[in-house]
Amino acid sequence: MKKLIKEKYGRIAETGGSCCNGFQPCCGGEVWELMKKIGYDEKDLEEVPVDAVLGLGCGNPVIFALLRKGETVLDLGCGAGIDCFVAAKKVGAGGRVIGVDMTPEMIERARENARKGGFSNVEFRLGEIENLPVDDCYVDVIISNCVINLSPDKDRVFREAFRVLKPGGRLVISDTVLLRELPENVKRSVDAYVGCVAGALKKQEYLEAIRKAGFQDVRVIMEALFPVEKVIRDPDLVRKAEGTVASITVWAVKPH
């Protein structure tokens, strides 16, 4: 499954954006409107490299992260870097943003975007979110946008996030979760998995995995139904999966 994910997202990195995680390229205007619908400010979009806007998220964790000047931010599954660049503006020249992604093509595209945009306080590292290439207690804030659902070992992802956060650090992630069990044929769909549906946990299981890693003050700060029709091609599967998936943004804190 990881190989399939790398291939799919590698193709997106090379060919351009996609609509709401579906893998059909769409025009820039459509992606732009999608990004505004899921919480991005038009001013933020205007200040990031255009090639970083791929339409792959399910929320905007940056606006809830309460970023301050001088902080160090880590983005899990950074893609082409959009959230890194938005965060970089907020932490300023004295801050730092690190993006981690397992897809070499995405890292290459993100680094090129940083170069073109003159973002000297952003760096991108190739790696897996289950094994973060980041030192212990190193970052102030962790963000992630519709990526952790793709991991086969979500418990390990949250343990790694806990490890690299400083005491008192914040975790703010947008992701997909299940409101009820998916039909078996949807669970087995490759499109549904790579499209951030079939690999999702039930909402309470997801929140409990964060708590189990050691985080406190775990709470959902935004929730909306996820449009499964954008990522599943089979109309019958769409009908069966309708209303089962939500996109949520979660806040949590590593205790002092």
* Residue 227 near residue 190, CB atoms below 8 Å: no
The average pLDDT across 28-49 equals 80
Q: What is the distance between the alpha carbons of residues 82 and 198, in angstroms, rounded to a whole number? A: 25
**pLDDT tens per residue, range 149-167:** 999 999 999 999 999 999 9
Tell me the whole-structure pTM to 2 decimals: 0.90
Q: Is the pLDDT of residue 26 over 50?
A: no
Strands 96-101, 72-76: pairing is parallel
**What is residue 134's DSSP assignment?**
S
> Which pLDDT value is given to residue 241?
83
Burial, 229: exposed, middle or buried (Cβ in 10 Å; 0-12, 13-18, 19+)?
A: middle
Q: Which domain holds residue 242?
A: 2-253
* Residue 160 near residue 132, CB atoms below 8 Å: yes
**pLDDT tens per residue, range 70-121:** 999 999 999 999 999 999 999 999 999 999 999 999 999 999 999 999 999 9
Burial, 180: exposed, middle or buried (Cβ in 10 Å; 0-12, 13-18, 19+)?
A: exposed
Hey, what are 138's tokens? 């190193």
Is the backbone of residue 7 left (phi > 0), alpha (psi -120 to 50) or beta? Answer: alpha
**pLDDT tens per residue, range 105-119:** 999 999 999 999 999
> Which pLDDT value is given to residue 104?
94
CA 171 to chain centre: 12
The residue assigned the tokens 């291939």 is: 7
> Which pLDDT value is given to residue 16?
66
When divided into structural domains, the chain yields a total of 1
Q: What is the distance between the alpha carbons of residues 122 and 120, in angstroms, rounded to a whole number? A: 6
Q: What is the distance between the alpha carbons of residues 25 and 69, in angstroms, rounded to a whole number? A: 36
* Residue 183 near residue 241, CB atoms below 8 Å: yes
CA-wise closest residue to 54 among 5, 120, 115, 110: 110
Long-range pairs of 130-135 with CB within 8 A, sequence gap ≥ 24: 130/156, 130/157, 130/160, 131/160, 132/74, 132/76, 132/100, 132/160, 132/161, 132/163, 132/164, 133/100, 134/74, 134/98, 134/100, 134/164, 135/164
Find residue 224's DSSP bridge partners.
247
CATH of residue 60's domain is: 3.40.50.150
